Each structure stands twice: as structure tokens, then as C-alpha cells.
Amino acid sequence: MATQEMITYDKIKGVHNIPLEEFYTSGHRTCQGCESATTMRGFIKAAGPRSIVTGSTGCMYVANTSYMTTPWIVPWMHTQLGASGSSAIGMAAGVRALKRKGKIKDEHINAIAFCGDLGGGDMGLSGISGALQTNYDLLIIMYDNESAANTDIQATGLTTYGAQTTFTPPGKKTRIMQKRWKKNVAGMLAVGHPTCKYIATACATYPPMDFLNKVRKALAIGGPTFIHTYDPCPKGWDYHPRYSHELGELGIKSGLYPLYEIVEGQVTYTYDARPKKSRIPVNDFLSKQGRFAHLIQEDIDYIQKMVNQMWDEWEIPGIAPLKGVLKSK
């Protein structure tokens, strides 16, 4: 087995070339079928051992990193729920100062911070925005399991419309308590931070290797970068753990979760859901999860309509919710 000593940013071509060495190993207590654990395992495999990692509070802290049984082979530190952005700045700034002042060896060290959808997409948004305005080399990964999973599945700003969570249960009077449309975090960050050179959305397992190579690309391009991952969660989405990878794929193929990367302002769709024929009906995704069991046809039609609009009418489909420019009168 080859040992990854130095950082390599080479594109991984073919599953046989995925590095064998693990830097996120046994010791964690995530649920069976936890896609977020796969995200963890993947990003650090791609980044390699010359990395320092922080993780904000959430399942990937509490279920992941128990005292004396840490799964992390790389240096890792907990950061506060809303502090992924600021923790990344702190590490990267510290490392830069120490290198410049000759206090540590001058070598490349990746500074990577991860956060959940609540920690990053809601609470920590301002800190992430601050990080993306700096010129430090840092990568922030927001793993999105569409709920505050660690506190027992509460809706966040990124939960799919209509989903049942412990804060949004269907009741006798109100069927849909989760009335917020999923927040478009990657798009918002891309549009708002013109000097940020790399922003992407991804899913740990679909398309194969896509996520690993996005991590590599982010680190190779450098500066502050951001990746949003889409992580099916058997406990929160209510499905059998064996379907985690499949649900990620269905979410992407239904067009609910756009997959793309933006390199220096250039968009590439890494799953192109723009053509209607490349999208499956949203119900193929929704009907496989208990969290949508209370929806009626009208709700499904509404979700389908919103998804169609996003791909057919937006100026930059799936990314910027603007529908073109009007001439001033």
C-alpha cells in the first residue's frame, strides 16, 4: 500500500486509483448507512495527512469523536456550532504566520473545517462569508443531512419543503409545518464572494469520485473554498440504511439538489439536470422516505413546479434564482 506522505492534488481517475489509506477510521458511532460519515471519510482521503481539521458541533462531532476513541488520524479539533468559518481562518492564519516567521517548517498544510447544514447554512453563515473574503488557503465543507440531526432531527433552513421533523410534525389541522424552501447556500456564497475561486456542491457517492476530486480541486486551486455536500440520513429521512447512496443519486436526478462546481466564476454542471429528460419525477425521490409520507398529490405537484422553475426559468439554472433582466421603463 502506498503511503501518502505529501499532498497530492492529482485528479483520481477510476475507483481503482482511490488512495487506500484511511485518515478517518474506526471509533465513531454514527448510524448504519450514515452518508455524512462517508463524506468525512472521503474528504480526508482526498486531502491526505498534511491537513488540520476542525468540525463544528453536530452528528459529525457527537456521534463521531468520542474521547479516547477518536476516528481521526489527522489533527482534529472541535469548533463551536457556528464557528466553521472562523475556525478555518484561525488555523490558516496561525499556520501562515508561523511559517512566515520561521517558527514552523514552510510546507503546505491544508486547513479544512466542516459543519452541518444548521451549523453552517444557518448559524455560521456570517462566519463562512467572512472566511470566503480572506485570502487564506482554507476549505469549508458543509455536510447537509437536511436537519439538526444530532439534536433529534429538527428542521433547518436547508430541510426540503414539506419534510416531517421533530419541529415540523404533521398535525390534525396543519399537514405541512416545514414551509420554508431549501436555502441555496452554495449559490448564495458564490454570488456574494467574487474573489472566491472555487465553490461546489457534491454528494459523497454520486457520481462516483466526483466528491473526492472536488475536494482535490478546491485544495489545488487554493484560497478560501467551499463545498456543500448532500448527505442522506437514514434516521432523519426515515428509510432503510441500505438506500443511502441511492437516495443521494435520486435527489440529484430529480433536480431537487443541483450538482455543480464554479471555478473562478465559470459554472460546470457535474450532473446536468437542465434538460427535462435528464430529470426524474420528484416523487421518485420523495416516496422512498418516511419524512414525506404525509404529503398529498397537491404538495408533490407544488414541489415539482418549484423544481421545474428552478431549472427552466432561472438565469443560471439551479444556482441564481433570478429570471432575467427587465428593461427599465
Partner 1 sequence: MMTAERVHTDRKVYEREELLNGCQAVAHGVRLADVDVISAYPIRPYTEVMDQLSRIIADGELDAEYIIADSEHSQFEIAKHASSVNARAFAGSSGTGWCYGFEALVVTATDRLPVVYIVGNRALDDPGAFGVEHNDAMAVRDMGWLLLWVTTPQEALEHILLAYRIAEDKRVRMPLALAMDGAFLTHSQHIVKIPAKEAVKKFLPPYDLGAGRLHPDNPISIAPQVNEDWVMEIRRQNWEAAKRARGVIKEAYKEFNAIFGERYSNPYFTEFMTEDADVVLIGLGQIAAAGRTAAKRLREKGQKVGYIGLRWFRPFPTLELREVLKRFKAVGVIDRDFAHGSPDDGGVLLHEIRSCLYPAKNRPAVTNFITGLGGRDVSIDDCIKMFGITQKAMTDEKLDDYVTWIGVRE
Ligand X SMILES: Cc1ncc(C[n+]2csc(CCOP(=O)(O)OP(=O)(O)O)c2C)c(N)n1
Binding partner 1 (rule: CB under 8 A), the pick from 18, 31, 93, 306 is: 93
Q: Which helix (H) or strand (E) holds 251?
A: helix 244-253
Q: Does 119 bind ligand SF4 (CB under 6 A)?
A: no
Q: Least CB distance from residue 61 to ligand X, whole Å?
A: 7
Q: Least CB distance from residue 278 to Mg ion, whole Å?
A: 28
Whether the Cβ atoms of residue 29 and residue 68 lie closer than 8 Å to each other: no
* Residue 328 DSSP SS3: coil
**Alpha-carbon distances, residue 228 vs 44, 94, 141, 185, 311 (angstroms):** 15, 25, 6, 8, 19
Binding mask 63-82 for ligand X (x = CB under 6 A): ------------------x-
Interior angle at CA 247, CA 45 and CA 318, nearest 5: 85
Give the whole-angstrom CA distance, residue 63 versus residue 28: 6
Q: Does 60 bind ligand X (CB under 6 A)?
A: yes
Q: Does 234 bind ligand X (CB under 6 A)?
A: no
Query: What is the CA 58 to chain-centroid distance, rounded?
Result: 14
Long-range contacts of 11-16 (CB under 8 A, 24+ apart): 11/213, 11/216, 11/217, 12/46, 12/209, 12/212, 12/213, 12/216, 14/209, 15/208, 15/209
Interacting residues of 168 by C-beta distance below 8 A, sequence separation 6+: 155, 159, 176, 177, 178
HEC assignment per residue over 82-93: CCHHHHHHHHHH
Q: Which of 41-49, 146-154, 255-263, 298-306 is the region at the interface with Mg ion (rule: CB under 5 A)?
A: 146-154
Binding ligand X (rule: CB under 6 A), the pick from 51, 79, 147, 289 is: 147
Q: Does 30 bind ligand X (CB under 6 A)?
A: no
Q: Taking the alpha carbons of 218, 51, 8, 212 in that order, is the dihedral positive or negative? A: negative
Give the whole-angstrom CA distance, residue 56 versus residue 130: 16
Q: Which is nearer to ligand X, 81 or 199 (CB)?
A: 81
Q: Least CB distance from residue 133 to ligand X, whole Å?
A: 22
Q: Does 119 bind ligand X (CB under 6 A)?
A: yes
Q: Does 36 bind ligand SF4 (CB under 6 A)?
A: yes
Q: Which of 158-166, 181-189, 205-213, 231-239 is the region at the interface with ligand SF4 (rule: CB under 6 A)?
A: 231-239
Binding mask 81-100 for ligand X (x = CB under 6 A): x-------------------
- Partner from ligand X, partner 1, Mg ion, none contacting 151, C-beta within 5 to 8 A by type: ligand X
Interacting residues of 277 by C-beta distance below 8 A, sequence separation 6+: none
Q: Which of 104-112, 132-140, 189-197, 230-238 is the region at the interface with ligand SF4 (rule: CB under 6 A)?
A: 230-238
Q: Does 283 bind partner 1 (CB under 8 A)?
A: no
Interacting residues of 110 by C-beta distance below 8 A, sequence separation 6+: 7, 47, 48, 50, 51, 52, 137, 139, 219
Q: Does 235 bind ligand SF4 (CB under 6 A)?
A: yes
- Partner from Mg ion, ligand X, ligand SF4, none contacting 256, C-beta within 5 to 8 A by type: none
Binding mask 54-73 for partner 1 (x = CB under 8 A): x------xx--xxxx-x-xx
**Binding residues for ligand X, total number by CB under 6 A:** 17
- Partner from Mg ion, partner 1, ligand SF4, none contacting 259, C-beta within 5 to 8 A by type: none
Q: Least CB distance from residue 48 to partner 1, whole Å?
A: 9
